[in-house]
């Protein structure tokens, strides 16, 4: 785990006190040079009880605002309450490979 991964993880731990937290650096899935710029976070927290999905995502974006203004280019966010996580049986959607915008098929 690199320094940016650790910083993201620590901020999320401090803000959401999750029972499950998985910070995945998915930069290797980017079509260009692999830099620490593409992340996926999976967070299970009591904080999300009664919150709409958009509210949860906004709170994660706010927590990581500094990183999103700088090194982090893409952030996949998966937020769950404990009951939702149990119903999901710990499964989250797979992230697609990044096409890098200009590399996508424009035909």
The 10 Å Cβ neighbour count of residue 77 is: 17
Sequence-separated contacts (24+) of 87-90 with Cβ below 8 Å: none
Q: Is residue 98 part of a domain?
A: no
More confident residue, 44 or 2: 44
Q: How many domains does the chain have?
A: 1
Q: 35: domain CATH number? A: 3.30.300.90
> Residue 51 belongs to what domain range?
3-88
Locate 28 and state its tokens.
């290797």
pLDDT digits (tens, 9 = 90+) for 67-85: 999 888 889 999 999 999 9
Q: Does pTM top 0.75 for this prediction? A: yes
Sequence-separated contacts (24+) of 58-64 with Cβ below 8 Å: 59/15, 59/16, 60/12, 60/16, 63/11, 63/12, 63/15, 63/16, 64/8, 64/11, 64/12
pLDDT digits (tens, 9 = 90+) for 51-63: 999 999 999 999 9
């Amino acid at each position: 785990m690199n320094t940016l991964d650790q910083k993201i993880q620590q901020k999320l731990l401090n803000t959401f006190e999750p029972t499950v937290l998985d910070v995945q650096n998915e930069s290797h899935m980017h079509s260009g040079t692999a830099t620490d710029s593409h992340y996926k976070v999976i967070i299970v927290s009591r904080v999300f009880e009664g919150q709409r999905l958009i509210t949860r995502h906004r709170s994660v974006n706010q927590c990581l605002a500094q990183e999103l203004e700088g090194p982090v280019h893409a952030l996949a966010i998966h937020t769950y309450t404990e009951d939702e996580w149990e119903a999901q049986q710990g499964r989250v959607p797979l992230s697609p490979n990044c096409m890098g915008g200009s590399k996508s098929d424009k035909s």
